Chain A
């Protein structure tokens, strides 16, 4: 088998492992769905100022961002830290698998999850909240793809900061949640607010803006190039950091 076939072989087993471990799927799939069903129905249908989306429709898009980040950054970061701690990564390093095939398998499996998540959340939005199918489907696809790359890169990078697998979920979510709060994932934030100015330094807000742009119509909608470029900077920074400092072996052994 060549490296690509081996990556596809890995995808199968990564998928099995993923769906048998309920914790990961809860954050990625359950949380956005439950949030939409509980909060979305009481969110009201007034239009947000400066947008063609209603409040509840905005939340659908924002929850897709939330789930995507859980599927990429949180899942990859926690999975790798735990496997590193258990010595699974070290063992893998002793087999002939190419590094690219191993990560290809992990990220391929994440891509499947993101496609399923997108279909699920958009379907709930369209059925429950009259969300229009993205007016700019290509922009939506590009934004989602840039999101997967960025948040997978950051998931790889965060493993460098963690020395103990048991602490991984706490550290990873401890970084993620404050940023998600100020980035307008749970409620819309005005672009002129202080929170928004702070959040603009981080990639989450740009992911929200990028995806909202793909679901809106009218002036200013479509591909949000500036937001995607800022995300790409985070992706490159995360990747460079991860490639330089990634550890395959547990510490203190």
Chain B
């Protein structure tokens, strides 16, 4: 199918006797962002590097833009943009020169000025790269990956070390790329980044896919239990609260915690009780499991 940009089936790869990737499957559709999550050493980077053409696989089927990346053909490389984990830019060129140099390697590059301002380096165009801050070099790195007008972009931890506003800007940039119909494969350790950007999250642990889904449904997150917490009011015993005993509420350091599938009725009872007694429910929190909770659950045993 034409809108499957990446298809991976039964991918395996070993280094020496160590099985880094043990049968990974996933697909990515055109215009989507796939976030690959997983602990360090789980096989994420190996998987991505096979897709990028840096590594040869041992087994399984891999198709990137309809081609086998292990052949490293020029046409495929001109349709793919890669940002590696390490910032890799020549120190002695200026920002504009570095992007112009890279543009010259591609058949259909984006205008250099457009790329410079896309990555927010408009004011730095004539500065030598070695004078840029770490975050600015990282954004240049992203610009270098985008100048070739890639249909598919690999971003390996692209916002590590960014300040919050630079991260937001990068997220906007990625959303813009997807709106143009480009596909993004993102590896990240930031769950909020995956939550904000990904159409699909795939969690890899110990060389296998342990969960896959949208950020909101991953690992049954949408069906997970809700946690309700509040400070036990002074002079009130736990048994006085309108809590059904079968929920087995716990008190830790004076904080009551209850887990249940749906908190609607419970909240009604609790707040009604508090209002009737003129009590305040300090620190009342209602929380669904975050992507991070689900992630830690999924990867915890394999760590």
Do B54 and A249 touch (CB < 8 A)?
A: yes
Do A20 and B86 touch (CB < 8 A)?
A: no
Contacts of A219 on B, CB cut-off 8 Å? none
Interface stretch (choices B10-18, B74-82, B212-220, B285-293): B74-82
What mask results when residues 47 to 85 of chain A are scored 1 for a CB within 8 Å of chain B, else 0? 000000000000000000000000000000000000100
Is B27 part of the binding interface, using a Cβ–Cβ cutoff of 8 Å?
no
What mask results when residues 83 to 124 of chain A are scored 1 for a CB within 8 Å of chain B, else 0? 100111011011111100000000000000000000000000
A interface SS class = helix
Do A96 and B92 touch (CB < 8 A)?
A: no
Contacts of B74 on A, CB cut-off 8 Å? 96, 98
What mask results when residues 83 to 123 of chain B are scored 1 for a CB within 8 Å of chain A, else 0? 01011111011000100011011110000000000000000
Q: How many chain B residues touch the partner (CB < 8 A)? A: 27
Is B151 part of the binding interface, using a Cβ–Cβ cutoff of 8 Å?
no
Chain B proximity of A253: nearest CB distance (Å): 8
Do A94 and B77 touch (CB < 8 A)?
A: yes
Is B198 part of the binding interface, using a Cβ–Cβ cutoff of 8 Å?
no
Partner of B54, one of A6, A21, A93, A96: A93
Q: How many chain A residues touch the partner (CB < 8 A)? A: 24
Do A21 and B102 touch (CB < 8 A)?
A: no
B interface SS class = loop
Do A21 and B82 touch (CB < 8 A)?
A: no
Given contacts A13-B93, A93-B54, A96-B78, is CB(A88)–CB(B105) below 8 Å?
no
Is A1 part of the binding interface, using a Cβ–Cβ cutoff of 8 Å?
yes
Do B88 and A6 touch (CB < 8 A)?
A: no
Per the bound structure, the CA–CA distance linking A10 and B63 in Å amounts to 31
Contacts of A16 on B, CB cut-off 8 Å? 92-93, 97
Chain B proximity of A86: nearest CB distance (Å): 6
Per the bound structure, the CA–CA distance linking A253 and B156 in Å amounts to 14
Do B89 and A6 touch (CB < 8 A)?
A: no
Measured CB to CB, the residues of A under 8 A from B are 1, 6, 9-10, 13, 16-17, 20-21, 83, 86-88, 90-91, 93-98, 249-250, 253
28 pairs, CB–CB < 8 Å, chain A vs chain B: A6-B104, A10-B101, A16-B93, A16-B97, A17-B93, A20-B92, A20-B93, A83-B90, A87-B86, A87-B87, A87-B88, A90-B84, A93-B54, A94-B52, A94-B53, A94-B77, A94-B84, A95-B78, A95-B106, A96-B77, A96-B105, A96-B106, A96-B107, A97-B105, A98-B74, A249-B54, A250-B86, A253-B86
Measured CB to CB, the residues of B under 8 A from A are 52-54, 74-75, 77-78, 80, 82, 84, 86-90, 92-93, 97, 101-102, 104-107, 128, 144, 148
